[in-house]
Chain A
């Protein structure tokens, strides 16, 4: 099936973000997946035509990167990190359990077309091991129980939220964001998960700062006790909240993050 006209137009928009159009190929292939649910021969042709290169060249790129899929992907791509750290901490057990539970092998999709299961490499979240990814959103500190619950919820259409992000969207919607079309969900989820903050919390408790740190911490006198530190940290947080409220926090996000680039 040829790509819809809107998708073709968007492919051209992506190429136009870059000083040299071919740099757009990776995000363009993400967009092909968003539109078609996988990398199709027609998608490859379309990219080749826009960039003025051969389909073989595009194909060579598409096959190099693991995020590009030749076979249709389910609504939810479920990744289990089985690189060493996560594997040892329980990722191997989780992956085995899910294969069993879903009755699929690695890189296979359930019969209902909902879930594609794959083991993935270190996803830069080792402090939350064992880690899973659903449509490339973080699912931190998993157990075999929470993992099976997660996939059951996904299959039943229950709302699932990333531990550090929004409600899970579909794989195709995720691919669209990776192509550079922001979905306006950046403000969902926390600033940081608990593990990201452990060192900072200890520093706050003990009144440790960088020397004469000019930003926020400089305004705090060294606290005498952990309680005092906590109190002061609370105050400063409250102050910063107030400031946030006063400023125009909800700047509009338009679809194309490289807008300024286009405008030039």
Chain B
């Protein structure tokens, strides 16, 4: 039996000066790199990642080893690895603490992954709004060069790799992988038409692998302990461990690293329960772009298949928990305003559609409009979902359609009440502390 929590990526976060090379190496860090450079061919690294069953941790769950296998090695252009460290999906807060506490875990993963796909240049595209994380990454890269983990002829292997830390400038859409590439080329961050996929024509139209921070950071452990070790955790089709981020009205919000397939009931239990005297009302399994779930879904296995089976998505395991003091209409309106603000404007369904969604939701929240507006909202969602150029537009519809499915009456209560029937002060953290707002 695997333990309920399985710290691997988080295991060294409580070590003294865990962000330094000295600390990381004292706990075995860069051992996987030495092993791979000495004993494994690039293809053997790809095989190990394929065999582990690792699926992308950035939301979509695409098998990582398979993605690497798509890189055409006969293509004469340079190959690139780009790490997606844009972490901006509302609720998602795992990559940032990882890079703050242990940037070398990511960097070791970058070197192993670049070696596997035969890239000699790699980038970490980190959102700009996290200054201290940028500092830690910069310093760690510096240390890695000085130690000979980066640069030319790494540990006498003949393999060369340069790694650039690149800070973004504030745009959620740049987390979408093709928009990220345009942004990294110094352009407005707007998604590209696919195909061609980045594996064939990515950065500078060259073969490019883009992976999430946590995906890449998982690679050293797979090389260290073996694919079978990794696959011994998790469920049949969702292997391994992942960081689950609990936030909101729970006693101990924070990061919990567990095998995929743990349930929200188990996680809330570990977190000491919901705050006193309150109960779970709705939650997001993987960020605001994944349809809301309710207390009905506490026992759903949090793996790719389990969450999909109840009509949502595992996404980034960003578990935002709201209790009964929270107005779902207010919550959904705020997310919708976010999507409207972040829509890149490239395609009409999303650019215009998110604007209209906000208009109607804002009116409903004020108690204006009629029941027919709910159907209008659903109809608009229908016209955005599947018709948008990228998944941002699709994601914008998730909170709306799922909240109407589960909380139709609450929307109607705004109409009969002539406004929001909730007291927003009751939902704040200071409400429990007895302070006044």
Q: Which residues of A contact B (CB under 8 A)?
A: 17-20, 22-27, 29-30, 51, 60-61, 64-68, 79, 82-85, 87-90, 92-93, 120-130, 133, 135-138, 141, 143-145, 162, 164-166, 174, 177-180, 182-183, 185-189, 191-204, 206, 208-217, 233, 237, 240-241, 243-244, 247-249, 251, 253-254, 257-261, 263-264
Contact = CB atoms under 8 A, between A and B. Distances in A.
User: Among the interface residues A124, A206, A254, which one has the most CB atoms of the partner chain B within 10 A?
Assistant: A124
Nearest to A63: B188
A198 B272 CA distance: 11
Nearest to A241: B16
Contacts of B127: 124
B132 A264 contact: no
Interface of B: 2-8, 10-23, 25-28, 78, 87-93, 95-97, 100-102, 121, 127-132, 134-143, 145-146, 150-152, 162-172, 183-189, 204, 224-225, 229, 232-233, 241, 244-249, 252-258, 270-271, 288, 318, 320, 322, 326, 330-331, 334-335, 338, 341-342, 424-425, 427-430, 433, 435, 437
B320 A124 contact: no
Contact of B165 (A123, A180, A212): A180
B429 A208 contact: no
B88 A121 contact: yes
A124 B331 contact: no
Contacts of A25: 186-187
10 contacts: A22-B187, A92-B424, A136-B131, A195-B254, A197-B14, A199-B5, A201-B14, A202-B270, A214-B224, A237-B14
Contacts of B169: 26, 29-30, 65-68, 178
B110 to A, nearest CB: 13
B132 A84 contact: no
B256 A199 contact: yes
A182 B101 CA distance: 18
Given A27-B166, A65-B169, A122-B88, A249 B22 contact: yes
B334 A129 contact: no
Contacts of A197: 10, 13-14, 254-255
Contact of A123 (B26, B130, B145, B164): B130
Given A22-B185, A82-B334, A191-B17, A127 B255 contact: yes
